[in-house]
Amino acid sequence: MKNLESNCSFTILILLGVLILGKSEVYIVTLEGDPVISYSGGVVGFEATAVDSDSDEKIDVTSELVISYARHLEKRHDMLLDMLFDQGTYKKLYSYRHLINGFSVHISPEQAEILGRTRGVKSVDRDWKVRKLTTHTPQFLGLPTGVWPNGGGFDRAGEDIVIGFVDSGIYPHHPSFATHDSDPYGPVAKYRGKCEVDPDTKRSFCNGKIIGAQHFVEAAKTAGAFNKDVDFDSPFDGDGHGSHTASIAAGNNGIPVRMHGFEFGRASGMAPRARIAVYKALYRLFGGFVADVVAAIDQAVHDGVDILNLSVGPNSPPAATKTTFLNPFDATLLAAVKAGVFVAQSAGNGGPFPKTLLSYSPWITSVAAAVDDRRYKNHLTLGNGKILAGIGLSPSTHANRTFTLVAANDVLLDSSNAKNSPFDCQRPEVLNKNLVQGNILLCGYSFNFVTGTASVKKVSQTAKSLGAVGFVLAVENASPGTKFDPVPVGLPGILITDVIKSTELIDYYNISTPRDWTGRVKSFKAVGSIGDGLKPILHKSAPQVALFSSRGPNIKDYSFQDADLLKPDILAPGSLIWAAWAPNGTDEPNYVGEGFAMISGTSMAAPHIAGIAALLKQKYPRWSPAAIKSALMTTSNTLDRAERPLQAQQYSGSEVMSLAPATPFDCGSGHVDPRAALDPGLIFDAGYQDYLGFLCTTPGIDRNEIKNYTNTPCNYTLGHPSNFNTPSITISHLVGTQTVTRTVTNVAEEETYVITARMAPAVAIETSPPAMTLRPGGSRKFSVTLSVRSVTGTYSFGEIRLKGSRGHKVRIPVVAMGYDR
């Protein structure tokens, strides 16, 4: 800050007469001088506030030292802007003081250039948008019998652990967040967040279970994207996404999932007793802006959360940043991890294509999405005896009866409506009720279902309003990547997703339906019946990597050069997840007005990990975020429930979904196993200096850029980024022979571990020593040597196993690509 104070004056004289031009935008600006979390002294009148990154210490926000230094930083931000620009030509949105030192401001591009040239300003990044990365899983993961009893049962699982959700807010009245049927929630001394009041009802958003609720919207408002009538200028969830993710991680146990008069089981969060802290920064129509998200993260860490869930990722790379690991978003999360906060982030929904990840950095736990063992299938039986498979979470038509099939195009009240796509059955007013009543309505799947302007729910409502006994929705053509999920409806209904099966249905209908010379139907002769789709089928082939889940390899820059760091880190359930919903939420048109929704995405996978991390934090309160991440990764499964290697959903050459053996680029270390994670035996720990070492050792990263974002010079090197002490090994460019090291720490009783390794034939692997004994709390190093046997142009995969004499099994994936030079 001394440079800023002493060098501003000469700059100001030059800039006073500058004409403000161009359309104003929001910029995130970082300045020289440490934020609260890393300030070790040096500014006259202000004592050090830095947090020791190797302890479980948090920022003491009540400390007068922290309050006064944070106030000092904000004054410097205001002074800088006031000296550079005239009042009314800019608008400061936020001061960032705790994790990064900077602010977000609404200014013109010309003003941004001026800021960028000002002494003491380290970076100026134009704000960019982020988007959401959009039951049964507690049993699938073994939580009720294998994990919760160890923590005192579900009514104590996650006790006093605070999970922060940077998302679309919360619907506080949902039973998943209610407190009337549980033991009273007392105060949590470490948490100091505040609760906003609903501007309409004047009631607090908090109830003990929900311990904090705030919203961040200045950047969205400034960009003109915010609409208070639909987005709600409060922590209230107008979307549904935020309530869904919060209940996955920390929703109450055993909440009945009821829709249309049916019960689909009971929903529970991973850590049912954990507290929920809401930091709304995402909105229903436009997603969100990084300036708001960074403000939310900064506030969450200031407030004292233990875990941070981010079911969010960037729409596109930051405009001014070359390195994936260094931008205001990732730098803020690095500071959050330094403060002892575990961060779970969705890997992205760009799968199954390579290099589609949206979560890159080693300090973040990047979560891929799995399909679990539950499938909802149904069938349509035609009058010619053919049985067509489909999906439909609905009751059956009456047993032992068939019903007449009538196509929407053939029951129009006015044939002139044919040009308005009536066949997708979204508008009951254009169809003839007299012809539909008592029959099965046959509808077509249009592009409107992909865009969200049409929905299966609306088809069901149309059919019901016209007196139909059921409906069939046939997919005649589908774009690659179209995802079909079963939708719960109260009326018998089925979606035929296979284009070939849909063609069979249409051919049968046309053959069975006589017409006059104009094409008008003389009589409807096609018949069929719809099966019962309410009961799930449990598959032993689960889990599988979901088709949509983003894949590695990880990239270190926006030229898409491969990084020496494995991503994703871990796999968790993310497909067809039942959880709480906001009744006015519009994120999924099929669930408008409902209390629960069953949706898919890595957005659903990340809160599974956040909740399980809360259980680990409860058992091991002094563990670092890296230790928690290590326990999750090294104990994960690479086999499905039938004891076969995990499979990943892929596209075959014909763009039809197929299965292929999963690699670490699909699933990271494997599928999470909460029971094993609670007793990992060994951990691969890392701290703030290790993360800096990784950055400083990665080729191609500008060291000035590292200093700009971390306020720390590169005084520490790892020799090679692959030496970063993470529970995986990745060498993207292996030439000849390379040796990397890892350090493990024993978190159990004294134990002797035997180390073995295996690798695909193109790369040789050796480990040393062959065995080692560790006392409780002791640490030991081992080395791994990889050698190129043959150059294949593809990655080779393998693993290292450490098998303990007391039964602990520790496994880390190994990834390498060999080159001649």
Structure-block tokens of residue 395? 């009751």
Question: Residue 241 phi/psi, 5° resolution?
Answer: -60, -45
Q: Which residues pair with 338 in a beta bridge?
A: none
Contact 209, 276 (CB under 8 A): yes
Separation of alpha carbons 746 and 752, rounded Å: 10
Q: Which residues pair with 123 in a beta bridge?
A: 30
Structure-block tokens of residue 496? 């035929």
Structure-block tokens of residue 146? 């294998």
Residue with tokens 């929903």: 267
Q: Which residues pair with 456 in a beta bridge?
A: none
How many of the other CB atoms lie within 10 Å of CB of 400? 6
Distances (CA, A) of 295 to 36, 204, 217, 288: 14, 22, 10, 12
Separation of alpha carbons 492 and 509, rounded Å: 19
Distances (CA, A) of 766 to 290, 320, 763, 783, 789: 44, 42, 10, 8, 13
List, as one string, the DSSP characters of 593-615.
Answer: T-SEEEE-SHHHHHHHHHHHHHH
How many of the other CB atoms lie within 10 Å of CB of 589? 16
Separation of alpha carbons 569 and 563, rounded Å: 14
DSSP state of 806: T
Cis peptide before 352 (omega within 30 of 0): yes
Separation of alpha carbons 601 and 346, rounded Å: 8
Structure-block tokens of residue 742? 């890892």
Long-range contacts of the stretch 330-333 (C-beta < 8 A, 24+)? 330/360, 330/361, 330/364, 331/30, 331/99, 331/100, 331/709, 331/710, 332/96, 332/99, 332/100, 332/294, 332/297, 332/298, 333/297, 333/308, 333/361, 333/363, 333/364
Cα dihedral: 761, 763, 768, 773 (round 10): -60
Q: Going by DSSP bridges, is the β-strand pair 493-496/374-375 parallel, antiparallel, or unpaired?
A: unpaired
- Rounded to the nearest angstrom, the gap between the alpha carbon of residue 126 and the centroid of all alpha carbons in its chain is 24
Distances (CA, A) of 423 to 404, 429, 611: 17, 13, 44
Structure-block tokens of residue 175? 């039973």
Structure-block tokens of residue 83? 């000296």
* Catalytic residue ranges: 167, 241, 603
Structure-block tokens of residue 795? 């990655």
